[in-house]
Amino acid sequence: MDRTERFYKIDQLIRARGVVSFDTLLAELEVSRATLKRDLQYLRDRLSLPIVHDRDAGGYRRLPAPTQGQRTVELPGLWFSAQEIHALLTMQHLLANLDKGGLLGPHVTPLMDRLSEFMQTPDSTAQAVRDRVRILGQAARPMPLAHFEKVGAALLKRQRLRITYRARGTDETTEREISPQRLVHYRENWYLDAWCHLRDGLRNFAVDAILQAETLDKKARDISPRQLDAVLGAGYGIFSGARVQWATLRFTPLRARWVGAESWHPKQKGTWQTDGSYLLEVPYADDRELIMDILKYGADCKVLGPPGLRTRVMEALDAARARYR
């Protein structure tokens, strides 16, 4: 019987019998005297359960029910072991670092604070997790919390949004009515897949590029997950589309040791070559992001096809060389 089960057992015995002696609790729980004393102290001091020792009655009992207006103290309906609490605190710390804009943290912090109170040892506190686990983010863009919450609420309530959106690629600002379909967290930033009623098609929006958002009293148009994946989820990265091509990349033996362990796309194909190099095939519809990743590896990555992608990469290299002349 673990500690959580013992807590409930103690509470149930006292509720059922009114008064329970220390020896009876020992026999029922099958633990040492020291363990039972620690459990009783924890229930009283940490969980504020109104259990007292009644010498005249010869055992432990609950204090009388509170008067009107006072809060009844009960054991919570959801319990976690110390290991589960530690895992949850670690997960919250990961979320806080991935979510630099504080979009989700304010909503889960009260729960995490309560969980941290349950930890028994100094090396298992929330602060210990923060001290021992470090996440170094890169290229995350801040966004207003109000916009994110409005987008999330409209998404779940299946309502349309009117947004003012700035497309960074063209520096164009437009007003659009959209039907949100799903939120995507990709490379430390949030994106919204939505049906754009202005363009009459599926589009992908960077949430941090939404300048204004207004919830409309209109039902959102629903697009099936299969159609979303076909249009926005088939190609490479966030720049996806319906017309998908396959890129074939060869990495030198040195870089292959890294790339061979990386996931560039859920449908990628990888093959180790006899010389230690690595052949990677990935689908893409819009080559902009793929080219950025190719250029990151420089001479250690060779584009074998298709010819159009090879040409675009060489043009990008020529443009870079021209800037440094």
Q: Band the pLDDT of 98: cuts 50, 70, 90.
A: low
The whole-model pTM stands at 0.63
Task: Tell me the H-state helices in the chain.
Answer: 3-17, 22-29, 33-45, 82-98, 105-118, 126-132, 145-157, 225-232, 253-259, 288-296, 307-323
Q: Reduced to 3 DSSP states, what percent helix, strand and coil does the chain have, rounded to the nearest 5?
A: 40, 25, 35
Which residues make beta-bridge pairs with 196?
A: 178, 201
Strand-pair partners of 54: 59
Q: Who contacts 116 (Cβ-Cβ below 8 Å, separation ≥6)?
A: 85, 89, 125, 126
What the block records as the tokens of 167 is 């497309």
- Tens digit of each residue's pLDDT (9 = 90 or more) over 269-284: 999 999 999 999 999 9
Region 277-299: mean pLDDT is 93
Q: Looking at 118-132, 192-206, 251-265, 278-292, which range is the least confident one?
A: 118-132
Output the pLDDT for position 120: 47
105-118 helix and 82-98 helix, angle to the nearest 10 degrees: 150
The pLDDT tens digits for 143-164 are 777 788 889 889 989 999 999 9
Q: Take residue 96 and report the two structure tokens written for it.
A: 């806080």
